[in-house]
Amino acid sequence: MAAEHKIAGGHEMAPARVVRLANDIAAQFSVQTDERAAKAIAAHITMFWEPRMTAELVFAVRNPDSGLSPRAEAAARLLATQH
Partner 1 sequence: MGLLKEHDFGTPAKPGAPTVTLEIDGAQVCVPDGTSVMRAAATAGIDVPKLCSTDSLEPFGSCRLCLVEVDGVRGTPSSCTLPVAEGMKVTTQSAKLEKLRRGVMELYISDHPLDCLTCAANGDCELQDMAGVVGLREVRYGYAGENHLDLAKDTSNPYFDFDSSKCIVCSRCVRACQEVQGTFALTISGQGFESRVSPSAGESFFDSECVSCGACVQACPTGTLQEKSVVDLGMPTRTVLTTCAYCGVGCSFKAELRGTELVRMVPYKDGGANEGHSCVKGRFAFGYASHPDRVLKPLLRERLTDEFREVEWDEAISFVARRLREIQARYGPGSIGGISSSRTTNEEVYVVQRMIRAAFGNNNVDTCARVCHSPTGFGLKQTFGTSAGTQDFKSVAQADVILLIGANPTDGHPVFASRMKKRLRQGAKLIVADPRRIDLVRSPHVEAAYHLPLRPGTNVALMNAMAHTIVTEGLMNTEFVAERCERVDEWVEFISRPENSAEAAAVITGVPVEDIKAAARLYATGPNSAIYYGLGVTEHSQGSTMVMAMANLAMATGNIGREGVGVNPLRGQNNVQGACDMGSFPHELPGYRHVSDDAVRSIFENLWGVSLLAEPGLRIPNMFDAAVAGSFRGLFVQGEDIAQSDPNTAHVQAALSALDLLVVMDLFINETAKLAHVVLPGTSFLEKDGTFTNAERRINRVRPTMAPKTGKHEWQVICEIAQAMGYEEMRYDSSAQIMDEIAATTPTFAGVSFELLDKVGSVQWPCNPAAPLGTPTMHVDKFVRGKGQLIPTQYVPTTERSTRRFPLLLTTGRILSQYNVGAQTRRTANVAWHHEDVLEIHPQDAEVRGINDGDSVRLASRIGETTLHAKFSDRMPLGIVYTTFHHPVSGANVVTTENSDWATNCPEYKVTAVQVALKTATESARPAHEELPVGS
Interacting residue ranges for partner 1, rule: CB under 8 A: 1-6, 8, 11-14, 17, 21, 24-25, 27-31, 44, 47-53
- Minimum CB separation of residue 29 from partner 1 in Å reads 8
Question: CA angle, 43 as apex, 38 and 46 as ends, to 5°?
Answer: 125
Q: Which is nearer to partner 1, 29 or 61 (CB)?
A: 29
Distance CA 32, CA 82 (A): 22
Distance CA 82, CA 35 (A): 16
Q: Which is nearer to partner 1, 29 or 38 (CB)?
A: 29
- Minimum CB separation of residue 62 from partner 1 in Å reads 18
* 5 φ, ψ (degrees, to nearest 5): -115, 145
- Minimum CB separation of residue 81 from partner 1 in Å reads 17
